[in-house]
A and B are shown apart, each in its own frame.
Chain A
Amino acid sequence: MTDIQIQLDRVADDAHLLDVRDLFIEFHTRDGIAKVINGVSYHLDAGEALAVLGESGSGKSVTAQAIMGILDIPPGKIVSGQICYNGRDLLSLPEKERRQVRGKEIAMVFQDALSALNPVFPVGWQISETLRHREGVARADALRRAVELMELVRIPAAKQRLRDYPHEFSGGMRQRVMIAMSLALSPKILIADEPTTALDVTVQAQVMDLLAELRRELHMAMILITHDLGVVADVADRIAVMYAGRIVEHADVHDLYAVQGHPYTKGLIDSIPRLDHKGQELATIQGLPPSLMDIPRGCPFHPRCPYRKDPICSTQVPTDQRLASGTRTSRCHFAKEVLDGTAA
């Protein structure tokens, strides 16, 4: 490779804040090898919000854990791929430098705050921990900062609640504590892994709104992981739809809501209950997600696909098809037909 090529590559790297490229991850378990991530690529620019959508088990969390570097290895194993942050491949960094990225550059909010927070330490202690131990901030100052963070995520009477323990908070407030903690070091990217799934429906919207506001106020980029298409429209700029460890469709949110370029996405959208379709039977996707130990040949979605055409769908793995507008892609042999509504 010439120097110019290397420089060109560097420029290409620098184009995105975060760039996940062709990631392959396996889990080696007693029952066999589960191919959990099979060539995931997605990227994120500064200040942007990407929603990652997919049924449970499709590999959304595992991808996020790989980005954070908190994957359980073993049983997990990163087979190949790159995760570039600011042009540097995180996967090739030594653990010491990798650790510096966590929390400070990329932070994460987990699904169930009750188990994700440490039960035996007060929330103020937990929120201020990284300030004290990574930034060397004095205890009193760190606690003062914790109060500010709790106010930022709109926890009422923040100061009085500093010494309370996680179990003393309601579900919604606890998730806010989790969010405050993730913001302590002002990360550039926040990964929120199903941040509202464990909450009551009424509280879900409040927490989602808070995340959207925080992103705007703090100019953070965000990866919002969810299995619920309903919640992402107001928050995300783009959507990546995952199926069996692959991104099967990728598009701007509003484009994707309008028309879908992959039968799986179409199935997901059609299964959202809608007021104007009251009385109609809700469409659902036939069948079950494939076993990751034994992913079907050809297109992994073909056994469930209403548009499948044999033999192509059951023998050939579809590659990314670029669709009309800019970055829109779909991994379907008949992407264009599905998008145009001419597929049968």
Chain B
Amino acid sequence: MFRYIVRRLLQMALAFFGTTLLVYAMMFAAQGDPIQALAGEKPVSASQRAVLTERYHLDKTGIDGFLYRYWDYVSNLMRGDFGTTLAGRSISDVLQAAWPFTIKLALMAISFVIVFGITAGVIAGIRRGSLFDTTTLLLTLVVIGIPVFVLGYIGQYLLTNKWRLFKPTANDGSLYSLLLPALVLGMLALATALRLTRTSVAENLRSDYVRTAKSKGLPQRRVIGVHVLRNSLIPVVTYLGITIGDLMSGAIVTERIFNVPGIGFNVAKGIQTEDGPLVVGIISLLVIVYLTSNLIVDVLYAVLDPRIRYE
């Protein structure tokens, strides 16, 4: 297990450099004159240009120059220095202001998935073919079939504009204001987790060990609540881990729709304003979140299922 984790960490480092390099390249390849972009509409004097060229190592050209600047950026990143946005704000400050929104949003979304998705999935799995099962099947198919932004705008229109249950934007960060965005963000994962749980429970209910547990004279609630559930949740927990990464990228759309000033909102803004440092900084961070949550999932998988052994 230890060797496995070390190997995975090395793979993570590779993946990290790979993705940041790619994003860095894409973001800066699109730009014409970075110094002019930095200055915006204002004219840039020759001496200013020289200073900036010096500071950002723009004198080196070609692939060498690019790699040099990338390395400079990444080593700053690893010291926790994200640099500044084109507008001159420290990116660390931007992130610090944005994170709480996104984390709250993601936690709420994942709570919806766990509380509603898994519970409904377990019930549907136990009562296969019942009205409840058929209804949830239909609803989840609808949710899975509709893109998040459509769902988001419809939800926003109905619940805020028409029925006025929520405010259309959620920039005060209160839990209530984040309720609707979190629901929209978690909807797809909720539907998927529900279906996954249902299938898994239904499958496990047919297993031989369920018959054994019954023959031991255990009450039904223990047979299902302990024996079946413990087995059924293995794939579901794994899915939830992977979902954390998806929620991060889902946040880009959801936060934009509801104007939640979180991480996703800032990425969207950064892309629109061609703010290279901001976009690359946030994406790098998301990559780390994604890779870490994947590693945790894999380790968790081995903990949950004793038959899995990593070498």
B-contacting residues of A (Cβ < 8 Å)? 65, 68, 70, 99-104, 107-108, 110, 112, 115-121, 129-130, 133-134, 165, 167, 178, 181, 185
Evaluate contact between A110 and B208: CB separation under 8 angstroms: yes
Q: Which 10 A-B pairs have the closest CB atoms?
A: A102-B217, A103-B217, A115-B208, A118-B209, A165-B306, A103-B216, A116-B208, A116-B212, A108-B215, A70-B214
Let me know if B218 is at the binding interface, CB within 8 A: yes
- Size bin of chain B's contact surface: 20 to 34
A130 touches B218 (CB 8 A): yes
- Cα–Cα distance between A117 and B227 once the two chains are bound (Å): 10
Measured CB to CB, the nearest residue on chain A to B212 is: A116
Docked Cα-Cα span, A116 to B212, in Å, equals 6
Q: How far is the CB of A22 from chain B (nearest CB, A)?
A: 24
> Separation in Å of the A97 CB from the closest CB of chain B?
11
Q: Are B231 and A118 in contact (CB under 8 A)?
A: yes
Q: How far is the CB of A194 from chain B (nearest CB, A)?
A: 13
Asked if B211 contacts A118 (CB within 8 A), the reply is no
If the complex has contacts A115-B208, A117-B209, A119-B231, are A107 and B306 also in contact, measured as CB distance less than 8 A? no
- Ordered by A's residue number, 23 sampled pairs between the chains whose C-beta atoms are within 8 Å are A65-B211, A70-B211, A70-B214, A102-B214, A103-B215, A103-B217, A104-B217, A107-B216, A108-B215, A110-B208, A110-B211, A110-B215, A116-B209, A119-B231, A119-B307, A120-B230, A129-B216, A129-B218, A130-B216, A133-B218, A134-B217, A165-B307, A178-B212
B217 touches A115 (CB 8 A): no
Tell me which residues across on chain A come within 8 A of B216, comparing CB atoms. 102-103, 107, 129-130, 181
C-alpha gap A74/B139 in the complex (Å): 28
Q: Nearest chain B CB to A222's CB is how many angstroms away?
A: 15
**CB <8 Å contact, B212 and A130:** no
A197 to chain B, nearest CB (A): 14
C-alpha spacing A116/B231, complex, angstroms: 14
A165-B306, A167-B306, A167-B307 known; A119+B217 contact, CB < 8 A = no
Given A110-B208, A165-B307, A118-B227 contact (CB < 8 Å): yes
Which residues 293-311 of B have a CB within 8 angstroms of A? 304-307
Q: Mark B162-183, 1 if CB is under 8 A from A, else 0.
A: 0000000000000000000000
Shortest distance in angstroms between B212's beta carbon and chain A's nearest beta carbon? 5
Chain A: which residue is nearest B306 at the CB level? A165
- B219 touches A (CB below 8 Å): yes
B159 on the interface (CB 8 Å rule)? no
Instruction: For A115, list chain B residues within 8 Å (CB).
Output: 207-209
B230 cross-chain contacts in A, Cβ below 8 A: 118, 120-121
Q: Which of A101, A104, A118, A134 contacts B213 (CB 8 A)?
A: A118
Interface pair B305/A112, CB less than 8 Å apart: no
Q: For the complex formed, measure the closest distance between the CB of A127 and the CB atoms of chain B, giving whole angstroms.
A: 10
Distance in Å: Cβ of A27 to nearest Cβ of chain B: 15
Q: What mask results when residues 185 to 220 of chain B are scored 1 for a CB within 8 Å of chain A, else 0?
A: 000000000000000000000011101111111110
The distance from the CB of B284 to the nearest CB of chain A, in whole angstroms, is 38
**Least CB separation from A106: chain B residue:** B215
Cβ–Cβ contact B212 & A101, under 8 A = no
Residues of chain B within 8 A (CB-CB) of A167 are 306-307
| A110–B212 touching, CB < 8 Å | yes
CA distance A107 to B209 in the complex (A): 14
Docked complex Cα distance between A117 and B213 (Å): 9
How many angstroms between the C-alpha atoms of A115 and B211 in the bound complex?
10
